[in-house]
């Protein structure tokens, strides 16, 4: 028995049921029926809780049912065998609960009731009437056992998943709680596809994915290292992470030789003035272009823009993405060797390698072009040569000892890995 207080009154719940019968296509769902006792006034009261699942207000509800006493014998209501009641002059808004504050007086010996919704009047005047043929028996749905963080990353639908999927001969119940006809391919409430819900929201699949999620969270660094090994199978970890110092000539070995400097001083000064003029023009052109380029590279999804639509992350499995593919990047032909995605289906890693060896000039041109595309100058990086930093992703660029250029696109949102 549950007790709760409202002011000085005390109510005792004598009977409570969450109906397992639902009428498909009904604008209203009966969620709970209870018989309660007002112990101060010694009254027996009925309280129903409904949910408006229509897309407009409901202004009247007619219910009916049969009342029984503690022995299971029928109890008359206002002299009639059948219990009937009309909620009218009401406003029940879409997707809201209604009825929990309305108590209906019952005969003193009523202890059990089965309520069904008979008619509903919608705001536009439409009268919905029950059709017993559409009534189906549903199953009790259990809430998903997993952290909110996991659930948020598991599915991107704006209507959050709540329950495990269940089905029977006449209906299937979505993770959002909606009851759908067995023939419905998509959920009426959240539009998730039945096939998708059926495979993704079973207790077994969630348990497996959740374990995996926890494992990945706890072993983030280890997994990251494994991923790097996939790309550099032959490298020892020290070599892999060591910065190839001799390769970092970019911007660094342009020191002027001093031999004969005095002799050609005036020539050098003239050339310098000329170069400065050219530089000023280039800066002007750059600033003009820069201001007209769309500022669209704010998220890691936009990395895919660099490779075109072929870099499709739709068909990835939990192991990430192993389809090696040819992608030209900044005018150099190359291959996407490894890529993986995060839990929320964003790009986690994309490793791109040039197909051919590149000399220093080609490498520097590549870096310049990448900077232009990313609309940003790189910083020097301790592990790789250069790093372009953005709010939610990094791009790394370097040339390995075999003169292969590598670009790595990497999400920085580690909570999402």
Extract the tokens encoding 117: 């919704």
Per-residue H/E/C for the chain? CCEEEECCEEEEEEEEECCCEEECCCCEEEEEEEEEEECCCCEEEEEEEEEECCCCCEEEEEEEEEEECCCCCEECECCECCEEEEEEEEEECCCCEECCCCCEEECCCCCEEEEEEEEEEECCCCEEECCHHHEEECCCCCECCCCHHHHHHHCCCCCCCCECCEECCCEEECCCCCEEECCCCECCCCCCEHHHHHHHCCHHHHHHHHHHHHHHHHCHHHHHHHHHHHHCCCCCHHHHHCCCHHHCCCCCCCCCCCCCCCCCHHHHHHHHHHHHHHHHHHHHHHHHHHHHCCCCCCCHHHHHHHHCCCCCCCCCECCEECCCEEEEECCEEEEEEEEEECCCCCEEEEEEEECCCCCHHHHHHHHHHHHHHHCCCCEECCCCCEEEECCCEEEEEEECCCCCEEEEEEECCHHHC
Binding segment for Zn ion (CB under 5 A), chosen from 65-73, 95-103, 187-195, 267-275, is: 187-195
Stretch 119-158: interaction string toward Zn ion, x if CB under 5 A: ----------------------------------------
Side-chain-side CA neighbours of 197 within 13 Å: the count stands at 30
Dihedral of the CA atoms 369, 371, 374, 378 (nearest 10)?
150
Q: Cβ closer to Zn ion: 115 or 179?
A: 179
Extract the tokens encoding 417: 């890995």
Q: Find the shortest distance in angstroms from Cβ 141 to Zn ion.
A: 11
Q: Which of residues 189-218 bind Zn ion (CB under 5 A)?
A: 189-190
Q: Cβ closer to Zn ion: 187 or 306?
A: 187
Q: Find the shortest distance in angstroms from Cβ 148 to Zn ion.
A: 18
Q: Cβ closer to Zn ion: 120 or 176?
A: 176
Q: Cβ closer to Zn ion: 142 or 220?
A: 142
Q: Find the shortest distance in angstroms from Cβ 167 to Zn ion.
A: 13
Binding segment for Zn ion (CB under 5 A), chosen from 124-132, 188-196, 291-299, 333-341, is: 188-196
Binding segment for Zn ion (CB under 5 A), chosen from 141-149, 182-190, 207-215, 375-383, is: 182-190
Binding segment for Zn ion (CB under 5 A), chosen from 58-66, 185-193, 222-230, 391-399, is: 185-193
Q: Cβ closer to Zn ion: 200 or 346?
A: 200
Q: Cβ closer to Zn ion: 176 or 206?
A: 176
Q: Cβ closer to Zn ion: 191 or 323?
A: 191
Interface with Zn ion (CB under 5 A), residue total 6
Q: Find the shortest distance in angstroms from Cβ 381 to Zn ion.
A: 46
Report phi then psi at 166, rounded to 5. -140, 155
Q: Find the shortest distance in angstroms from Cβ 122 to Zn ion.
A: 22
Q: Find the shortest distance in angstroms from Cβ 99 to Zn ion.
A: 23
Q: Cβ closer to Zn ion: 174 or 303?
A: 174
Q: Cβ closer to Zn ion: 46 or 144?
A: 144
Q: Find the shortest distance in angstroms from Cβ 161 to Zn ion.
A: 8
43 binds Zn ion (CB under 5 A): no
Binding segment for Zn ion (CB under 5 A), chosen from 186-194, 232-240, 312-320, 393-401, is: 186-194
Alpha carbon 411 to chain centroid, angstroms: 16
Q: Cβ closer to Zn ion: 187 or 300?
A: 187
Q: Find the shortest distance in angstroms from Cβ 176 to Zn ion.
A: 3
Q: Find the shortest distance in angstroms from Cβ 178 to Zn ion.
A: 4
Q: Which of residues 162-181 bind Zn ion (CB under 5 A)?
A: 174, 176, 178
Q: Find the shortest distance in angstroms from Cβ 157 to Zn ion.
A: 8
* Selection from 401, 402, 397 nearest residue 410 by Cα: 397
Stretch 352-371: interaction string toward Zn ion, x if CB under 5 A: --------------------
Q: Are 44 and 105 in contact (CB under 8 A)?
A: yes
Footprint on this chain of Zn ion (rule: CB under 5 A): 174, 176, 178, 187, 189-190
């Amino acid at each position: 028995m549950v007790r709760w207080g409202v002011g000085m009154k005390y109510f005792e719940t004598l009977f409570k049921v969450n109906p397992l019968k639902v009428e498909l296509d009904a604008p209203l769902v009966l969620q709970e029926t209870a018989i309660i006792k007002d112990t101060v006034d010694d009254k027996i009261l009925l309280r129903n809780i409904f949910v408006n699942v229509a897309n407009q207000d409901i202004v009247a509800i007619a219910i009916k049912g049969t009342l029984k006493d503690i022995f299971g014998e029928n109890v008359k209501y206002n002299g009639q065998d059948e219990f009937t009641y009309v909620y009218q002059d009401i406003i029940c808004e879409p997707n809201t609960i209604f009825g929990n504050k309305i108590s209906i007086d019952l005969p003193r010996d009523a202890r059990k009731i089965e309520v069904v919704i008979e008619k509903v009047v919608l705001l536009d005047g439409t009268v919905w009437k029950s059709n017993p043929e559409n009534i189906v028996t549903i199953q009790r749905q259990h809430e998903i056992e997993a952290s909110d963080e996991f659930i948020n990353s598991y599915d991107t639908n704006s209507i959050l998943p709540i329950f495990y999927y269940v089905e029977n001969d006449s209906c299937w119940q979505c993770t959002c709680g909606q009851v759908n006809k067995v023939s419905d391919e998509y959920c009426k409430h959240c539009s998730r596809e039945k096939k998708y819900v059926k495979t993704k929201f079973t207790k077994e699949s969630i348990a497996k994915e959740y374990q995996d999620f926890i494992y990945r969270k706890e072993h983030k660094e280890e997994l990251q290292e494994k991923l790097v090994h996939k790309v550099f199978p032959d490298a020892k970890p020290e070599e892999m992470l060591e910065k190839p110092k001799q390769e970092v000539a970019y911007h660094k070995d342009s020191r002027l030789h001093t031999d004969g400097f005095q002799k050609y001083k005036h020539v050098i000064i003239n050339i310098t003035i000329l170069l400065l003029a050219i530089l000023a023009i280039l800066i002007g052109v750059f600033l003009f272009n820069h201001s007209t380029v769309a500022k669209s590279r704010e998220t890691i999804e936009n990395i895919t823009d660099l490779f075109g639509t072929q870099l499709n992350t739709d068909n990835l499995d939990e192991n990430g993405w192993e389809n090696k593919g040819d992608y030209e990047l900044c005018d150099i032909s190359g291959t996407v060797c490894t890529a993986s995605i995060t839990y929320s289906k964003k790009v986690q890693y994309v490793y791109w390698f040039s197909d051919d060896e590149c000399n220093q000039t080609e490498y520097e041109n590549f870096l310049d072009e990448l900077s232009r595309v990313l609309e940003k100058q790189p910083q020097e990086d301790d592990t790789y040569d250069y790093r372009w930093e953005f709010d939610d992703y990094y791009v790394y660029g370097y040339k390995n000892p075999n003169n292969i250029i590598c670009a790595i696109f990497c999400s920085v949102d580690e909570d999402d890995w």
